[in-house]
Amino acid sequence: MPPLTRWHLRTALLCLVLGLTATLLNALPAVASAWFALALAPIGIHLLVMGWATQMIFGVAHWMFPRAGKDRTFGSAWLGWTAFWGLNVGLLLRVVGEPLAASGRPVALLLAGSALLQLGAVLAFALTTWRRVRAA
């Protein structure tokens, strides 16, 4: 399994645990009145959908999709690692920024940064994977 895949899959598993933890906390009555309570739902959903499911897809696609080009590589290494770091740093910024936003603190730069990093990650993945989607 290539290194990028291993990083994606292990991080996806961590996000699965963190996402389910967030959704569990969200369900506890004792947490409902906490200052960060409103942030738990979007954090949980995005850790599960982006951090777990989409990242798992990124990792397995990088490994399994037909290799393109004469040298039959896994695609652009820098685009692949951009996708990894953009997705995960973006999610981390969101996990920090959402509770701060819920408590009324100014977090425009933090959340915009998170948004751009995740969008950049998705674009990088789409660009490097596009060529590997080929007719048999």
Name the residues that contact another protein, by CB under 8 A: 49, 53-54, 57, 94, 97-98, 101, 106-112, 114-116, 118-119, 122-123, 125-126, 129-130, 133, 136
For the CB of residue 29, give the shortest distance to another protein in the complex, in Å.
26
At residue 68, the 3 state secondary structure works out as strand
Q: Which is nearer to another protein, 4 or 102 (CB)?
A: 102
Which residues neighbour 100 within 8 Å (Cβ) at sequence distance 6 or greater?
107, 110
For the CB of residue 108, give the shortest distance to another protein in the complex, in Å.
3
Q: Which is nearer to another protein, 28 or 112 (CB)?
A: 112
For the CB of residue 61, give the shortest distance to another protein in the complex, in Å.
8
At residue 68, φ and ψ (nearest 5 deg) are -100, 170
Structure tokens at 40: 């738990």
Q: Which of 89, 90, 83 is nearest to 55 (CA)?
A: 83
